[in-house]
């Protein structure tokens, strides 16, 4: 295969591992800076250009689109799809997962376990929104936030209301979620490839921090997940339409609940915690499933 990887930083662990795995399997792979690609939209011959060169001849594309460039990254990925290039994750699926509210609505419709979540445009309803989410403490999240940024714990009703009013005062969209106290500041990251969880780790937040993100001082360890947790993770990935993703779960009193689905999961934490060669598994999945023009949406979504 000739593979294009959409990524801005070729030095990231995840990107280097994917390059190593692809080359070890005998494939050609190029890292293409997504923001440096430009698009020629035409009916007869859709085209992408990069540094003056037409991006032709690729069989597959691995989209590693940063959250801050989601809009442009998805436009570039749709163009690859229109050119018949097979994407590891499709543009429509990534778009679903990046829209946190839409993702939760899709999961809820299919009966996936979720923390109780409330959303309102106006802070006039702050009191009621907090009550819908089960009352303080509640978790307040920026819809555009990633990696734990823009996630605040409102420990009392008044402090939660103040945070909601502050965010809405600067016209930032937020959602308010039930705080799963019994999770104890930990979550489970399930790495899903196709219809299987191939690796899972427990992430524990730093002392005094309810967020479990590793880059914020948390730590990770291998964990054996229950059949219900495995089923929840694979069903969530399928509902989003993602071939590869990280599904973050919390263990609640009423079973596993999905916190987030990451369409460009980092590989460093889970590979080091579990010893599993996730990058190799991703390339093997591509070898088995890559076909020209196989994309379900063909850029229409």
* Rg of the chain taking only CA atoms, in angstroms: 20
Query: Do 211 and 224 reside in the same domain of the chain?
Result: yes
Q: Tell whether the model's pLDDT for residue 255 goes beyond 50.
A: yes
Task: Name the residue range of residue 154's domain.
Answer: 117-179
Position 299 scores a pLDDT of 43
Residue 285 domain-assigned (yes or no) = no
Q: What mean pLDDT comes out for the span 257-272?
A: 95
Q: What is the pLDDT of residue 162?
A: 94
What pLDDT score was predicted for residue 151? 86
Closest alpha carbon to 178 in 217, 146, 213, 210: 210
Q: Do 253 and 233 share a structural domain?
A: yes
Domain assignment present for 217: yes
Give every strand in the sheet of 28-32, ordered side by side.
28-32, 2-6, 60-63, 86-87
Closest CA to 295 of 113, 121, 70, 63: 63
Q: What is the CATH number of the domain that holds 217?
A: 3.30.470.20
Among the residue ranges 70-74, 79-83, 139-143, 257-261, the one predicted with the least confidence is: 139-143
For residues 189 and 241, membership in a common domain is answered with yes
Answer for the pair 88, 62: CB distance below 8 angstroms, yes or no: yes
Which region, left, alpha or beta, applies to residue 232 given φ > 0 means left and ψ of -120 to 50 means alpha? alpha
Report the alpha-carbon angle 193-97-185, nearest 5: 85
Tell whether 245 and 217 lie within a shared domain. yes
Q: What is the pLDDT of residue 208?
A: 58
Q: Could you give the percent of the chain with pLDDT greater than 70?
A: 91
| CATH at 150 | 3.30.1490.20
Q: Which of 284, 270, 229, 275 is nearest to 252 (CA)?
A: 229
Q: Tell me the mean pLDDT in the region 235-246.
A: 97
In a domain, 245, yes or no: yes
pTM over 0.75: yes
Same domain, 134 and 157: yes
Please identify, among 179, 194, 217, the residue that sits at the C-terminal boundary of a domain. 179
Does residue 156 lie in a domain region? yes
pLDDT for 120: 86
Least reliable range by pLDDT among 132-141, 182-191, 211-220, 238-247: 211-220
Residues 192 and 166 in one domain: no
Higher pLDDT, 293 or 239: 239
């Amino acid at each position: 295969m000739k593979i294009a990887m959409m990524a801005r930083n070729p030095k990231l662990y995840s990107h280097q591992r994917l390059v190593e795995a692809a080359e070890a399997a005998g494939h050609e792979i190029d890292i293409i800076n997504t923001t440096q690609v430009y698009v020629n939209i035409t009916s007869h011959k859709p085209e992408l250009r990069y540094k003056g060169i037409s991006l032709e001849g690729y069989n597959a594309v691995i989209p590693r689109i940063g959250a801050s460039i989601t809009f442009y990254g998805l436009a570039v990925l749709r163009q690859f799809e229109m050119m018949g290039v097979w994407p590891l994750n499709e543009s429509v699926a990534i778009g679903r997962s990046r829209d946190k509210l839409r993702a939760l609505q899709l999961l809820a419709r299919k009966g996936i376990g979720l923390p109780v979540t409330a959303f309102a445009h106006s802070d006039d309803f702050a009191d009621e929104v907090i009550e819908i989410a089960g009352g303080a403490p509640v978790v307040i999240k920026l819809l555009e936030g990633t990696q734990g940024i823009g996630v605040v714990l409102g420990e009392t009703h008044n402090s939660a209301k103040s945070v909601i009013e502050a965010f809405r005062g600067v016209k930032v969209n937020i959602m308010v979620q039930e705080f799963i106290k019994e999770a104890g500041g930990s979550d489970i990251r399930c790495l899903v490839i196709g219809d299987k969880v191939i690796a899972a780790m427990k992430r524990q937040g730093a002392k005094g921090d309810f967020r479990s993100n590793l880059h914020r001082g948390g730590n990770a360890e291998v964990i054996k997940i229950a059949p219900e947790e495995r089923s929840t993770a694979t069903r969530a990935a399928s509902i989003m339409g993602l071939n590869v993703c990280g599904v973050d779960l919390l263990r609640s009193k009423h079973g596993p609940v999905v916190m987030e689905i990451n369409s460009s999961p980092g590989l460093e934490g889970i590979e080091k915690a579990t010893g599993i060669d996730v990058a190799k598994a991703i390339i093997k999945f591509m070898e088995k499933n890559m076909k020209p023009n196989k994309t379900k949406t063909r850029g229409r979504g």
